[in-house]
């Protein structure tokens, strides 16, 4: 059976991260993604795959390669449909970080976290829709990739 998963993910070295909290969020998403994912690009030879993910010229670029780094397919998605979600996600993450560092109530932190999960889920569904017919992802893989999209595009 084919190994339809990501074995490696590469992000640009210059991806701006405003604070250690954002870096921890990005690192955790990468670790979780590599620990378990389902990534099945339509029409490509069996995996595993290497994904180079970046934002270039206002587009999300997924550069899919085989295990030897041979390019297989480049997918560029307009970021316009993601703008509101990414902006809202960053605001909620900032509120969560502020509540945690200022010793906010557990109820407030949980409420912010629920809002964050909702935006995360909405972003994951949008990513799956935008990749429909090109790459099949399970929901958790899509959630983790959406986290990385947000990390890559800090200033929408």
Give tens-digit pLDDT for 113-122. Answer: 788 888 889 9
- What's the pLDDT tens digit per position in 53-93? 998 898 999 999 999 999 999 999 999 999 899 888 888 87
The residue written with tokens 């972003």 in the block is 123
- What pTM was computed for the model? 0.86
Does residue 9 sit in helix, strand or coil? strand
What tokens does 9 get? 């993910």
What tokens does 30 get? 């990468």
The answer to whether the CB of 51 falls within 8 A of the CB of 7 is no
Question: In terms of Cα–Cα distance, which of 100, 102, 120, 119 is closest to 110?
Answer: 100
Going from the C-alpha of 63 to that of each of 1, 69, 103, the distances in angstroms are: 24, 10, 41
- What's the pLDDT tens digit per position in 126-154? 999 999 999 999 999 999 999 899 888 76
pLDDT at 100: 77
Going from the C-alpha of 6 to that of each of 30, 36, 46, 81, 117, the distances in angstroms are: 11, 9, 11, 25, 23
Residues facing 112 on adjacent strands: none
Q: Is the pLDDT of residue 23 over 90?
A: no
The domain ranges of the chain are 6-152
Q: Is the pLDDT of residue 156 over 50?
A: no
């Amino acid at each position: 059976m084919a190994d339809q998963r990501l074995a490696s993910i590469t992000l640009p070295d210059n991806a701006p991260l405003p604070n250690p909290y954002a870096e921890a969020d990005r690192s955790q998403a990468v670790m979780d993604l590599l620990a378990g994912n389902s990534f099945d690009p339509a029409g490509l030879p069996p995996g595993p795959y290497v994904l180079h993910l970046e934002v270039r010229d206002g587009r999300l670029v997924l550069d899919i390669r085989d295990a030897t780094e041979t390019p297989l397919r480049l997918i560029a998605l307009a970021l316009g449909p993601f703008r509101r979600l990414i902006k809202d996600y960053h605001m909620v993450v900032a509120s969560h970080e502020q509540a945690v560092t200022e010793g906010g109530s557990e109820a407030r932190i949980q409420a912010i976290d629920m809002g964050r999960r909702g935006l995360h889920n909405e972003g994951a569904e949008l990513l799956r829709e935008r990749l429909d017919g090109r790459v099949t992802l399970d929901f958790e893989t899509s959630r983790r990739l959406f986290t990385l999209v947000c990390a890559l595009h800090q200033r929408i």
